[in-house]
């Protein structure tokens, strides 16, 4: 469509069509990152399933498949094995070709993800902020809770991120907004993607930092200059409060929707919790996103094997707070072995009464259900759907569960005060 406008004599304000292509064409973008010595995940391009199978060992599993020119993570999926890779290409073959190939990207499991929003004018750049995702890599940035200023990201890595973001904006000759998504693993910074436009994190950052990102974006697109005084006035690091982005989902309105989070965006709204402390801001973000914070009761657990030991300190903390536990067989046996009393429940296919019956009967206060792989996701769908139907919090990511427990602990401790923006 922009090409048509250009041929008709219209002038495109801001970033050029070439800049847009450099960001959206996965092959071109990878080349630019390598030119700037920026780390990117191990990757390959494929225009067909046959080509994809040739590259699967080079990229390795798990991988994330990203078609060119997508919004909202549409048709992006985490692929666990060769069978799922073939299925992916067969299901999406109408959107993948030699001209619009799919990027097969190494999936950085457990990495810390961040969003960066900046504005670049002809001779100036203003960084709007770095939003640290609360969930680990693999959840679309629009569906992930986020916090500014970052709580786990090292200061030296924050500086590196700002520098590489500005270098990328200069190299691509961006005029206006640029959103970058990065992943940090073992202190290495990987560039995942660049979006030469205003992003969904801009309203959150503009409200949190009080930097007028939209006004600045228009100035940049119009080619207007920014005075040295203005540039020095806009420093997101001067933020005095901690702001947490909450996320609103529409699952209750759609009978067959699944609350499991992944690379394809599902959320329909955002909230913001703002306070002097991270835990206070978390409470506000959860409550404003219509998520109950139960003061007591039973927690139902269904955890994948790799999450059981890492989540033990979290579950021990819940035990100290007075919560009781129930779980499917594997999780229950593990907890009982480590001296955490846990009631064992049947899975749905194991016969009644089962875990979903207990959720629907109102005996469960909230659920922690971590799973991966298409087969496991389908098997645990009824658990998550029951939580949606009965407005029971269901945490599907271990990092989100950790934040939720921190908020629970804070909500039991006392009153939450209002934090006025001005």
d(CA 325, CA 318): 9
As a whole-number percent, the residues of the chain with pLDDT over 90 amount to 60
Beta-bridge partner residues of 132:
114, 147
3-state secondary structure of 318: helix
Q: Report the Cα 107 to chain-centroid distance in Å.
A: 13
The fold for domain 112-239 equals D-amino Acid Aminotransferase; Chain A, domain 1 (3.30.470)
Q: The whole model's pTM is what? A: 0.89
For the packed helices 49-59 and 82-91, what is the interaxial angle rounded to 10 degrees? Answer: 140
Tokens of 151: 């709580």
3-state secondary structure of 194: strand
84 vs 40, 51, 52, 80, 345, CA distance in Å?
23, 15, 12, 7, 30
414 or 116, which is more confident?
116
pLDDT recorded at residue 141: 87
φ/ψ (deg, to 5) at 155: -55, -40
> What single DSSP character describes residue 241?
S
> What single DSSP character describes residue 390?
T
Q: Which H or E element spans position 211? A: none
d(CA 120, CA 189): 22
* Cβ neighbours, 10 Å, residue 378: 11
- Scanning 273-366, the segments in alpha helix (DSSP H) are 278-288, 305-308, 312-320, 329-337, 355-360
Q: Where in the chain is the domain with CATH 3.30.1490.20?
A: 42-107
Q: Where in the chain is the domain with CATH 3.40.50.1380?
A: 252-413
Residue whose entry in the numeric block shows the structure tokens 């909202």: 72
> What would the pLDDT profile of 311-352 be if each residue is shown by its tens digit?
999 999 999 999 999 999 999 999 999 999 999 999 888 888
pLDDT recorded at residue 379: 73
Mean model confidence pLDDT for the chain: 90
The domain made up of 252-413 is a member of CATH 3.40.50.1380: yes
Q: Assign residue 60 a region: left if phi > 0, alpha if psi is -120 to 50, beta otherwise?
A: left
d(CA 263, CA 266): 9
Q: Which H or E element spans position 127? A: strand 125-133
Q: Domain spanning 42-107 has what CATH number?
A: 3.30.1490.20
> What single DSSP character describes residue 142?
T
- Scanning 130-274, the segments in alpha helix (DSSP H) are 155-171, 201-209, 213-221, 228-233
pLDDT recorded at residue 72: 58
CA atoms within 13 A on the CB side of 163: 10
Q: Is the pLDDT of residue 235 over 90?
A: yes
pLDDT recorded at residue 42: 87
* Cβ neighbours, 10 Å, residue 51: 17
3-state secondary structure of 96: coil
User: Would you list the DSSP string of 26-93?
Assistant: HHHHHHHHHHTT-B--SEEEESSHHHHHHHHHHH-SSEEEEESS-STTTT-EEE-SHHHHHHHHHHTG
pLDDT recorded at residue 71: 65
> What would the pLDDT profile of 92-104 be if each residue is shown by its tens digit?
888 888 888 888 9
> Which residues, 6+ apart, have CB-to-CB distance to 202 below 8 Å?
117, 128, 177, 179, 213, 214
Q: How confident is the model at residue 254 (pLDDT cuts 50, 70, 90)?
A: confident
CA atoms within 13 A on the CB side of 33: 22
d(CA 352, CA 396): 24
Q: Which one, of 63, 151, 140, lies nearest residue 109 by Cα?
A: 63
Start-to-end CA distance of the chain, whole Å, equals 42
Q: Where in the chain is the domain with CATH 3.30.470.20?
A: 112-239
> What would the pLDDT profile of 166-185 be if each residue is shown by its tens digit?
999 999 999 999 999 999 99
What is the β-pairing status of strands 63-67 and 146-148? Answer: unpaired
Q: Are 322 and 296 in contact (CB under 8 A)?
A: yes
Q: Is the pLDDT of residue 1 over 60?
A: no
> What would the pLDDT profile of 209-231 be if each residue is shown by its tens digit?
999 999 999 999 999 999 888 88
Q: Is the pLDDT of residue 192 over 70?
A: yes
* Cβ neighbours, 10 Å, residue 326: 23
């Amino acid at each position: 469509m922009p090409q048509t406008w250009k041929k008709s004599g219209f002038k495109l304000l801001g970033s050029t069509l070439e800049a847009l292509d450099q960001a959206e064409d996965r092959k071109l973008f990878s080349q630019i990152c390598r030119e700037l010595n920026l780390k990117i995940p191990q990757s390959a391009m494929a225009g067909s399933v046959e080509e994809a199978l040739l590259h699967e060992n080079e990229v390795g599993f798990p991988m994330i498949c990203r078609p060119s020119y997508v919004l909202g993570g549409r048709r992006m999926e985490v692929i666990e094995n060769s069978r799922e890779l073939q299925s992916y290409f067969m299901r999406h073959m109408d959107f993948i070709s030699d001209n619009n190939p799919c990027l097969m990207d190494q999936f950085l499991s457990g990495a810390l993800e961040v969003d960066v929003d900046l504005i670049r004018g002809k001779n100036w750049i203003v960084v709007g902020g770095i939003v640290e995702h609360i969930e680990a890599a693999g959840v679309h940035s629009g569906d992930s809770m986020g916090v500014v200023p970052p709580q786990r990201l090292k200061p030296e890595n924050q500086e590196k991120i700002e520098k590489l973001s500005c270098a990328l904006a200069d190299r691509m000759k961006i005029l206006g907004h640029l959103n970058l998504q990065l992943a940090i693993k073992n202190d290495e910074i990987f560039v995942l993607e660049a979006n030469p436009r205003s992003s969904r994190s801009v309203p959150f950052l503009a409200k949190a930092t009080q930097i007028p990102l939209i006004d600045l974006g228009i100035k940049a697109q119009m080619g207007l200059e920014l005075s040295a005084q203005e540039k020095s006035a806009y420093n997101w690091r001067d933020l005095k409060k901690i702001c947490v982005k909450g996320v609103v989902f529409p699952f209750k309105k759609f009978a067959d929707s699944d609350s499991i989070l992944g690379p394809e965006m599902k959320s329909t709204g955002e909230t913001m919790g703002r306070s002097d402390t991270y835990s206070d801001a978390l409470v506000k973000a959860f409550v404003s996103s219509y998520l109950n914070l139960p003061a007591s009761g039973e927690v139902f657990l269904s955890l994948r094997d790799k999450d059981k030991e890492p989540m033990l300190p979290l579950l021990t903390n819940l035990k100290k707070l007075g919560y009781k536990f129930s779980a499917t067989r594997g999780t229950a046996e593990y907890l009982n072995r480590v001296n955490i009393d846990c009631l064992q429940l049947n899975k749905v296919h194991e016969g009644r009464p089962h875990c979903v019956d207990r959720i629907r009967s109102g005996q469960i206060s909230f659920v922690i259900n971590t799973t991966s792989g298409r087969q496991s996701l389908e098997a645990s769908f009824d658990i998550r759907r029951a939580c949606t139907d009965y407005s029971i919090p269901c945490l599907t990511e271990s990092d989100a569960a950790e934040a939720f427990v921190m908020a629970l602990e804070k909500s039991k401790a006392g009153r939450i005060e209002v934090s006025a923006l001005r």
